Structures are given as structure tokens and as C-alpha cells.
Structure 1
Amino acid sequence: MDVFEALYTTRAMRRVKPDPIPMDVQRAILDAAVRAPSGGNAQGWRFLLLDSPELKARLGPLYRDGLAQLFDGYYKPLIEKADDQGRKVFASAQHLADHFEGYPLMLFAFVRHDPSGGSIFPAVWNAQLAARAHGVGSALTSILGLFHAEETLRILGVPEDKGWQLACTVTFGYPTGRWGVAPRRPVHEVSYRNQWSEPVGFTVDEPLWGNEP
């Protein structure tokens, strides 16, 4: 797959089929993850793949509780004012929660000595790009780490005294929908040069990939 096709079409895919992810695809996903840049080459990360129905059944209620807290708290004003597109976004997030146990594969990314996430999130993104190259959709969420970190680590058997923190969870599955370039505000509306609010010096009215004649 062309690298730009992967970059432009790897978006959150939360509606997926229950079909299992082949082991060779799982190997490719994790091998791509560990090739990402790592500050000081410390590689202070650990990755846990989850496909156990029993463990997903224990984590699902925790995830739904965390999302409910988020929707009833920080996001409540945004939900009340959301337009049609915004409501679709929140509905998609709710779909993940409602179908948590149905995702065939999840990746839990753990980190220590990486307070900025500067090493773990490039690794996770590598995993998601590798999944895309194999036709597998993914979606990143930090709900469990924000609201139920201790319970999640306990359920997954993570050592309590080693300093490991849950950075995020990624769901994987073959999507029921189609790949496509996600609509975004154009570059020149969100980018500056040298000083805040100074024009970046160019405009990008349409995505630079996918609109070739």
C-alpha cells in the first residue's frame, strides 16, 4: 500500500465485524509498533494483545462507566450543542462502548518514564498504520486509563510495583464500512508560521492525496 494512502485513509473505524484477526496480521501490527522512534532508544513500552472473551466481559462494564462519566461531565455541554456531525461522532464513541466485548482484538499499550507520550503514541500509530495496510480498522481510546486504570491493570495482571501506566487501548477489526479520507478543517486554517495567527504561507483547499485527475 502506498504510504500516503495509509496516512490519509487511516481513521477511526469503530464499526467492525467479529471475524478474528489472523496471527500473521497481529505479528505485523506489533512488529511495526516496536519500530517506531523511541526517546533515547529506551523502548519503555509494553504491548498486550487481548482476545479473551472472559477478560473483555470484565473490562466492558468499566469502559461503559468511564464513557458515561465523560459524557455526563466534560463533554456534556458539547453534546447538548452538537450539530449533526457532532452527534455522529458521539454516537460512534457510544457504539464502541456498547460493543466493547465484540471487538475481536484489542491492544493495550503501557509505558513508563514517558510522561509526554512522545514514544508510546508513535508506536501505537505505527500499529494502526500496519493494521490499515492489512485492511484492519482500528480506534484509539484512553477511557480505561482515565477512569479505571487500577482495575484495568489488575484484570490484565500488570505488575503493581513496576511503574507501568496504561497509555491507551486500541480496538481492531475488519470494518463494515468503507475507507476514505476524513473531512478536516484545511491546513491554512489551523497552521501558522513563526508567530501565532501569522499565515502559514500556503493554502490546501482539498486533500493533497485522493484528488488526482
Structure 2
Amino acid sequence: MMEAAMIGHSVSLASLYDFCRADPECSAFLGKSPLGRAYGKLAAEIARAFPIEKGFYLWGFFDEKQQWRSVYVGKAHLGKTNSIRARIEKELKNERSFVWLGLRPDGYAYFVDRWLSAYQEWDGSSKSEQHVKKALLKSRTTHIVAVSTPGLSDEHVRGVEAHLIAQFKPTANGQRPPVVPELEVEATKVMKIKYDEISRLSGSEPYLVGA
């Protein structure tokens, strides 16, 4: 039986930044407000660029010298509700504050307070506060790159993810799990496709400069 092919996907978040530039008061932080719903709809549209399949995704941006900077590595492997598309849509919605901070990098403390006051699941716990701060760690992300891996067994997903984190060194991943040497071949296949996608995106305007 032929092994299911790994396929690369990518998307720009330019439309999210355009949306946020028009909402400097962060009204869309409130998910059930008119602007909040409009943001959610836009996030869902962006996520449709990705398949309903398992795989890995990478948040990042090109700096002023057009060098790729990795922000976050994620995985999706537990069925339709945890597909690449579902994971990215959920993160774009639930961690939306990162977009506004990307436009105003000097406003970290302000956005922590604003996002805490608007975060629907905020219960005063340290876990909720950590979630809010984790969202802001993704600031400056302008592109998301993904690789669907329909043929990769679920038991190997965490091991491949460890290789990706070691290779890309994303700034928002707090943990650095040990790599599994036996999965290096599979991980290298995923890395190559991601690098191909990043190369294809190279030359994209670093549209946060001077934001």
C-alpha cells in the first residue's frame, strides 16, 4: 500500500493585522461582541487554508533582513476536532491578543491587562494567566506553515514534534522535549516540506515594520 503523502500548506495573517489596525481599542477582544464575532469569522476563513488532517504547524515571521524567525511549533493528531485546521482556528481565536501586540510591541503590560479582562475563561487562576501570557508570546507572527502527515502514526507524533522544536527553536514553546533518534528520518521529511514552504514565502513584506 502506498504511504499517504505529506503536503505543505501556508497562509499569511495580513488580513488579521488589517482588521486589528482598524480596532485600536481592542473591542474584538470580547468574542461575543460584533467586532469579536467578525474577528472570529475572519480567523475561521484563514484556517480554511489548512486541511482537516493531522500534522504539524509552525508560526513565524520574516524579520527586516528577510530571515525567517520561528515562534511556535504545534501538532494536531487526535481526530477531526484536533485537525490542523481546527487547531489553528482555535488558536487564532483564543489567543487573538498576539495580533494587537504585534502592532504595538511596547504595550505588553497593557495587553496583558486588557486580555485578562476580556478572556472568557479567566477565573483568576495562574493557569488562566499563563494562557493569556502564552498568547502574547506569539506576537509578530505573520505566517503559519503546516505539513499534513496522514500516514504518520499517532504514537510517533510527539517524537517528531520534539525534532521540529529542536530544529526550529521556536520562542513560544516553553518545553524542549528530548529528541527520539529513531524518528529522525520522518522528522526530516516534515522539516524539508516546511523549509520548502518558508522558501516559497520568502520575499513576503515584513509588514509589521513601522506598524
Greater helix share, structure number: 2
Which gives a bigger RCO, structure 1 or 2 (Cα 8 Å, sep 6+)? Answer: 1
Same fold? TM cut 0.5: no
Task: Give the TM-score normalised by the residue count of structure 2.
Answer: 0.27
For the pair shown, the structure with the greater C-alpha radius of gyration is: 1
Task: Give the TM-score normalised by the residue count of structure 1.
Answer: 0.27
